């Protein structure tokens, strides 16, 4: 898996069944259990120190720390055992290839059968397919959250359009009077858009404060994104204000095209 070895060695052909069992430990394991010491050559045993029936294993090397949980990048102490000396009841075999990985499946079966014909080899799949299956639940949740976000944005756009259309309707006589006194259609357009930007700014300010608080509560559910990621907050703020101005363009154009005389006669 291309995990670098920092000191000592990895497993080799001398680590055969019947020989002294060896292990490779992670750097965090070495720092936690052998602080200030050289872990190479030290003996460890899995399980409870008093009741463990596992054999003593000698540390042969120290490797890099690896995170095994995709939801948490924090690494934990790890111990790697030699499958030839301490075979597990079941396991995954990973084969690195060039080209189509599935084309090597028959050769992998033959190689495994040559070692032990009694060992079955099933569920052959590419690593990408394995990741897709492992992340299927996360992908499903992310897809629905994305849909929810777009629905929320659509409802917000409809609401903003309705509010601005109502504002223009209520201020029809005022707008007509302004235009009768010399205000230009461009000035009316800017007035409505300025009003929309003000309302959107107030809403976004309140939303950002609430979102920051909610992000702190849900920080453990986020992966790869900080709960206070400025890029997220800035991009959402810009998007909401841009959509507010976009959906307000129609009511603003209507305000700019009002006939002053008809507006003044409107009861």
What would the pLDDT profile of 176-189 be if each residue is shown by its tens digit? 777 778 888 888 88
Range among 7-21, 42-56, 156-170 with highest mean pLDDT value: 7-21
Are 237 and 153 found together in one domain? yes
Question: What is the pTM assigned to this prediction?
Answer: 0.58
| Any domain includes 172 | yes
| Any domain includes 120 | no
| Any domain includes 249 | yes
**At which of 88, 116, 148 does a domain end?**
88
Whether the pLDDT of residue 218 is over 80: the answer is: no
Q: β-strands 22-26, 79-81: how paired?
A: antiparallel
Report how far residue 138's alpha carbon sits from residue 222's, in angstroms, rounded to the nearest whole number: 11
147, 148, 172 from 151: Cα distances, Å: 6, 5, 31
| Any domain includes 116 | no
Are 80 and 159 found together in one domain? no
| Any domain includes 105 | no
Please report which confidence band the pLDDT of residue 120 belongs to, taking 50, 70 and 90 as the band edges. confident
Q: Which DSSP letter does residue 56 get?
A: P
- Beta-carbon-side half-sphere exposure of residue 231 (alpha carbons within 13 Å): 3
Residue 95: strand, helix, or coil: coil
The predicted pLDDT at position 1 comes to: 81
The predicted pLDDT at position 229 comes to: 75
**At which of 56, 88, 120 does a domain end?**
88
Percent of the chain with pLDDT over 90: 19
| Any domain includes 93 | no
pLDDT in tens, 59-93: 999 999 988 776 666 788 999 999 888 888 777 78
Question: Per the structure, how many domains does the chain have?
Answer: 2
Are 253 and 158 found together in one domain? yes
Are 141 and 249 found together in one domain? yes
The predicted pLDDT at position 250 comes to: 86
Q: How would DSSP label each residue in 151-188?
A: HHHHHHHHHHHHHHHHHHHHTHHHHHHHHHTT--HHHH
Stated as kind and residue range, the H or E segment containing 243 is helix 230-256
Please report which confidence band the pLDDT of residue 194 belongs to, taking 50, 70 and 90 as the band edges. confident
Are 144 and 238 found together in one domain? yes
Report how far residue 53's alpha carbon sits from residue 255's, in angstroms, rounded to the nearest whole number: 85
| Dihedral angle over CA of 128, 129, 131, 137, nearest 10 | 140
Residue 30 is part of which domain span? 5-88
For the ranges 65-74, 108-117, 119-128, 142-151, which has the lowest average pLDDT?
65-74
The predicted pLDDT at position 76 comes to: 87
| Any domain includes 112 | no
Residue 24: strand, helix, or coil: strand
Find the mean pLDDT for residues 123-150.
85
Phi and psi at residue 258, in whole multiples of 5°? -65, 135
Range among 119-123, 138-142, 256-260 with highest mean pLDDT value: 138-142
Percent of the chain with pLDDT over 70: 91
Are 166 and 230 found together in one domain? yes
Whether the pLDDT of residue 23 is over 90: the answer is: yes
Of the candidates 131, 139, 6, 128, the one whose C-alpha atom is nearest the C-alpha of residue 66 is 6
Whether the pLDDT of residue 259 is over 80: the answer is: no
Please state the separation of Cα 15 from the chain's center in Å: 40
Please report which confidence band the pLDDT of residue 175 belongs to, taking 50, 70 and 90 as the band edges. confident
Phi and psi at residue 125, in whole multiples of 5°? -155, 160
| Any domain includes 236 | yes
């Amino acid at each position: 898996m291309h995990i670098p070895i920092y000191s000592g060695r990895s497993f080799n052909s001398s680590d055969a069944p019947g020989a002294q069992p060896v292990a490779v430990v992670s750097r965090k394991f070495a720092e936690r259990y052998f602080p200030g010491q050289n872990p190479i050559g030290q003996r460890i045993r899995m399980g409870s120190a008093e009741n463990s029936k596992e054999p003593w294993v000698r540390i042969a090397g120290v490797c890099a720390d690896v995170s095994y949980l995709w939801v948490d990048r924090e690494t934990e102490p790890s111990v790697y055992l030699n499958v030839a000396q301490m075979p597990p009841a079941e396991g995954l075999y990973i084969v690195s290839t060039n080209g189509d990985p599935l084309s090597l499946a028959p050769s992998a079966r033959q190689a495994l059968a040559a070692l032990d014909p009694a060992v079955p080899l099933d569920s052959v799949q590419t690593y990408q397919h394995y990741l897709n299956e492992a992340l299927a639940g996360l992908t499903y949740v992310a897809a629905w959250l994305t849909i929810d976000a777009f629905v929320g944005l659509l409802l917000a756009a409809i609401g903003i359009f309705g509010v601005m259309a109502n504002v223009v309707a209520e201020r029809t006589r005022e707008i007509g009077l302004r235009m009768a006194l010399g205000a230009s259609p461009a000035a009316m357009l800017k007035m409505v858009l300025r009003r929309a930007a003000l309302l959107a700014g107030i809403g976004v300010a309140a939303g950002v404060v609430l979102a920051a608080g909610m992000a702190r509560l849900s920080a453990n559910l986020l992966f790869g994104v900080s709960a206070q990621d400025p890029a997220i907050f800035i991009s959402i703020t810009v998007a909401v204000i841009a959509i507010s101005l976009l959906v307000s363009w129609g009511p603003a154009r209507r305000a700019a095209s009002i006939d002053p005389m008809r507006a003044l006669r409107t009861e």
